[in-house]
Amino acid sequence: MLPYLIGAAVALAVAGYMFWQSKQATGQVGRLIGTETSRAADVHELARAAADAAGPGAFSHRVELKGAAVPGPRGLLTSEITDTECLWYRHKVTHHFQESYRTKDGDRRTRRKEEVVSDNSSKQSFLLRDDSGEITLVPTARINGPRKVASEFRQDEGARGSKLQLGRFSMTLPTSGDRTIGYEYEEWVLLPDTQIFVSGEAFDDRGDLEVRGPKGADKMLISTRSEEELIDHHQGETRKNQLFAGLAVVAAVVLVVLAFVLP
């Protein structure tokens, strides 16, 4: 009986997680549909009106924008691994290694593990340009759908504690694990003139008008996919999660019945 009940509990936990994921996706759709897409000039006009009424620094307004990503006053960045000129970049380095361990019976075994040892993204602001003007974007969250420009696995890079140099990126190799297998390097970039969709909050509390992460739990969204594509994606995730949640509930019910029916 006990194994069936444990299985039922696991199935219910999976169902709960799937329902939660479905609710998150539904919330994303609601936020996207519920916020009207603005032009850059319209947001600047709202900020000026707020400054006239309440003084500078008080403006805060949830916005959606779409247009081309272009360099700001500080110009382009250079990514750390591939030296790509870009507006934003992210790199990730994963350490693959073998680790020794003992089983419950005391036997010595090895297993392959991995550990992310570096995962960084740039914070420099850039501009969104549409047919009405420009507005500053501060990337307070990772960009959705950037271009992947590096995906490489290199076997054992040398002794533990030694220095790794790849492009402008450098780090001291970790000492975890019994034997290093190698390192996986990945890098993503946002290139100039890429069409983007933005959901965030416009503020003037730092002097200049800029769009960054909203107040509260919501994150900023900068995506290379259109609003329509994002809505379709989240609706698909909702349907998928609801289906898996329903199947998990059915499995839990079956397991409970079996627990009391079978000897």
Written in H, E and C, the secondary structure of the chain is: CHHHHHHHHHHHHHHHHHHHHHHHHHHHHHHHHHCCECCHHHHHHHHHHHHHHHCCCCCEEEEEEEEEEECECCECEECCCCCCEECEEEEEEEEEEEEEEECCCCCEEEEEEEEEEEEEECCCCEEEEECCEEEEECCCCCCECCEEEEEEEEECCCCCCCEEEECCEEEECCCCCCEEEEEEEEEEEECCCCEEEEEEEEEEEECEEEEECCCCCCCCEEECCCHHHHHHHHHHHHHHHHHHHHHHHHHHHHHHHHHHHCC
Task: Give pLDDT, residue 215.
Answer: 79
Averaged pLDDT, 17-29: 74
The answer, yes or no, to whether residue 163 has pLDDT greater than 60, is: yes
For position 158, what pLDDT does the model report? 56
Nearest to 181 by CA among 118, 79, 113: 113
Rounded percentage of the chain residues whose pLDDT exceeds 70: 89
Q: What is the mean pLDDT of the chain?
A: 86
* pLDDT given at position 20: 81
What is residue 6's predicted lDDT score, i.e. its pLDDT? 80
Instruction: Report which of residues 244 and 43 the model is more confident about.
Output: 43
- Average pLDDT for 6-34: 76
Q: What is the pLDDT of residue 207?
A: 87
Is the confidence at residue 161, as pLDDT, over 60? no
Which has the closest alpha carbon to 188: 243, 120, 128?
120
pLDDT at 18 over 90: no
Lowest average pLDDT, out of 16-20, 89-93, 126-130, 191-195, goes to 16-20
Mean pLDDT value across residues 12-17: 84
pLDDT band at 157 (very low <50, low <70, confident <90, very high): low
pLDDT at 175: 61
Question: In the predicted model, is pLDDT for residue 255 greater than 70?
Answer: yes
- Check pLDDT > 70 for residue 162: no
Mean pLDDT of 142-153: 94
CB 63 within 8 A of CB 202: yes
- Residue 263 pLDDT exceeds 70: no
- For the cut 80, the answer to whether the pLDDT of residue 1 exceeds it is no
